[in-house]
Amino acid sequence: MITTDELKDLPLFESLSDEWRRMIAESAAELSVPAGEWIVREGETPSFFVLLEGSLTCEKDYGGTNKVSAPYAPGDFYGEIPILLDSVAIASLKSTAPSRLLRLDRVQFKDMIASSPRCNQIVVEVMTRRLKMIQNHMQTNDSLRVRVVGSQYSTECRDVRDFLSQNHISYRWSDHDETNPIIPDSCGEAYVVVDQSKVVSCPLTVRKVAQALGMRTAPEQTAYDVVIIGGGPAGLAAAVSGASEGLKVLLLEKKGIGGQAACSSRIENYPGFPTGISGNELASKALKQAVHFGAEIVVTREVHQILTMDGEYCIEMDGGYRVQAKSILLATGVQWRTLSVPGMKPLIGRGVLYGAARTEAHTVLGKNIFIVGAGNSAGQAAMFFSGYACSVTLLVRGRDIRNSMSQYLVDQLRSRTNIYIETSTEVSSVSGDTHLDSICTESSGQVKQRQADALFVMIGACAASAWMPDELQRDPNGFVLTGRDATPARGARTPFLLESNLPGIFCAGDIRHDSVKRVSSGMGEGSMAIAFVHQYLALQTETVAALI
């Protein structure tokens, strides 16, 4: 119980009147937390905390994997900066020993400092000192752990930049060599430097970069309750739900976290984000949640096959790794459909790109670019690149873009003076020697050749499910059948709503037959799939008990 006497001994409260100390003692929340518990996480809505007993540490995340921490002793407080600046928490607070804290909400805190000029002065002085510390840290420390050197047309370099961006790891990129004594001559044209000391090259791969950053690229355990294959919106939502509900969860992602949703520069119709949120940022938040609840996340690891073993499943990955799973969730997403026109193949990665990663923004600075597609992803890419490119031309095969794109995006596109929409238009060929320099388009029988610095192709998606078990039922296009669309083996039970014909193998997101291709629906399916996983595991437990 908080008393007025213990408040009087703390510098923050000693200037308050007896009446105010009594009010705070009676109305403030009292928290008792064990060692190792998070009080508030960076990005959350903050309260104002005062440490009464124990010890805390304040941690600030810089550059995705680099953290700076500061100790808190009894009498220290936290939360004044985000409350007074009306922002989310800019750092995380964690107990390092069993601790007792006083908590005030925003209104209580503001009323308290308004009641006493001296209390207000103490808060402002501490806030000023902390902001100065942040400024000094930024001036004396480079928060960018990664430097990427390589041509914009280097596939390896682009893959690394996309991976870093999707995993919210800031980096510095230059398309030419810089003088650096630690770079050996054998590194070639593309290389990465991590923490100013580790050189990744010969050959440059995403996995080697991930390992240099200390990211997990192989599973730690050999058996899991559920293995989620795919780290897009559906897979991340499932990892959050499964881990938070006590399941032993492994998520495998062969590329970067976020999937194709990472190409969405701004999603404005996702509930809860009235000013919009990028697919990349949404995935980053979900990843932090999944890790917070204990899900194991493994990146750059590709699944080769799924085998049946002793009533469970064995998942084989590249590198010879194997894990056993009581259940599996397929959330692999889809691949961009290819555009087959003369000249395309040799220019892929050299001006012709599938999807539209945010990392390409600086490669199109001041240039004339084209985007093929009429969906929301294409519209969002056009809006994003219009802030960098000289001109963005959206090439649409149909007659009216409103048939395939959300109205809010259509309105935004038409408000930008450097975005042009050409309907009833198709690309007939592309050309260039070492990189793309022109495209030919056809509209109403008229062929036009035009200078082009980049061509982004976003014409829909196709399933990449050939590696999945032959027994797994799919539609003619390769999308996985679930629920009543799947036909169970004779005498077997009817599959759950998101379950395939193979008991215990579930499917969510874009790879599922007849799914709604939206980020919000994918995340909804991922969370819902975990509910069916629980039901399946309960059935398995009942079956084993009956046999005993």
The DSSP string of 263-332 is G-S-BSSSTT-TT-B-HHHHHHHHHHHHHHTT-EEEES--EEEEEEETTEEEEEEGGG-EEEEEEEEE--
Token pair recorded at residue 105: 């909400």
Tell me the CA distances in angstroms from 214 to 234, 298, 450, 529, one per residue in order.
25, 11, 46, 31
Residue 145: what pLDDT? 81
Q: What are φ and ψ of residue 350, in 5° steps?
A: -120, 50
Q: What is the pLDDT of residues 307-353, one digit of tens each?
A: 998 889 999 999 999 999 999 999 999 888 889 999 999 999 899 99
Task: Provide the pLDDT for residue 544.
Answer: 63
Helix (H, G, I), strand (E, B) or coil at 140: helix
CA separation for the pair 324, 109 (Å, rounded):
51
Assigned token pair, 519: 């980020």
For the CA atoms of 245, 251, 257, 262, what is the dihedral angle to 10 degrees? -70
How far apart, in whole angstroms, are the C-alpha atoms of residue 57 and residue 67?
Answer: 12
CA dist 274 and 470 (Å) reads 44
Give the pLDDT confidence of 441-497 residue by residue, as tens digits. 999 889 999 999 999 999 988 898 999 999 999 999 999 999 999 999 888 899 999
Residue 141 gets which letter from DSSP?
Answer: S
Rounded to 5 degrees, φ, ψ at 83 are -70, -45
Which residue in the block uniquely carries the two structure tokens 């407080």? 77
Which of 334, 406, 418 lies closest to 371, judged by CA?
418
> What are the counts of helices (DSSP H) followed by strands (DSSP E) for the chain?
13, 29
Q: For 136, list phi and psi in degrees, rounded to 5.
A: -65, -40
Say what the pLDDT of residue 548 is. Answer: 62
110-115: which pairs have CB atoms within 8 A and are 24 or more residues apart?
A: 110/83, 112/16, 112/20, 112/24, 115/16, 115/17, 115/20
Report CA 390 to chain centroid distance, whole Å.
29
Contact 162, 256 (CB under 8 A): yes
Q: What pLDDT was estimated at residue 186?
A: 46
Tokens of 22: 């009594």
The pLDDT assigned to 413 comes to: 95
Beta strands in 130-258 (DSSP E): 146-149, 171-174, 191-194, 198-200, 223-229, 249-253
pLDDT of residue 62: 61
> What's the confidence (pLDDT) of residue 142?
61
The pLDDT of residue 182: 47
Angle at 439 between CA 438 and CA 440, to 5 degrees: 135
pLDDT by residue, tens only, the chain of 548 residues: 898 989 988 989 988 999 999 999 999 999 999 999 989 988 888 899 999 999 999 988 665 445 677 899 999 999 999 999 888 888 899 999 999 999 999 999 999 999 999 999 999 999 999 888 877 776 766 667 899 998 888 888 888 988 888 777 888 888 765 545 445 444 557 899 998 888 998 889 999 999 999 999 999 999 999 999 999 999 999 999 999 999 999 999 998 788 877 667 677 777 877 777 877 788 888 998 999 899 999 999 999 999 998 889 999 999 999 999 999 999 999 888 889 999 999 999 899 999 888 788 888 999 999 999 999 889 999 999 999 999 999 999 999 999 999 999 999 999 999 999 999 999 999 999 989 999 999 998 899 999 999 999 999 888 989 999 999 999 999 999 999 999 998 888 999 999 999 999 999 999 999 998 888 899 999 999 999 999 999 998 877 666 66
How far is the C-alpha of 533 from the C-alpha of 424, rounded, in Å?
46
Look at strands 505-507 and 335-336 and give their pairing: unpaired
Task: Write the burial class of residue 429 (CB in 10 Å: 0-12 exposed, 13-18 middle, 19+ buried).
Answer: middle
Q: Pairing state of beta strands 368-372 and 454-457? A: parallel
Distance in angstroms (rounded) separating the CA atoms of residues 188 and 200? 11
Question: Can you list the domains of the chain with their CATH numbers?
Answer: 4-141 (2.60.120.10), 146-213 (3.40.30), 223-335+503-547 (3.50.50.60), 352-459 (3.50.50.60)
Tell me how far CA of residue 33 lies from CA of 49, 81, 97, 540, in angstroms. Answer: 13, 23, 8, 37
* DSSP letters for 6-54: HHHTSHHHHTS-HHHHHHHHHHSEEEEE-TT-EEE-TTSPP-EEEEEES
Which pLDDT value is given to residue 181?
Answer: 44
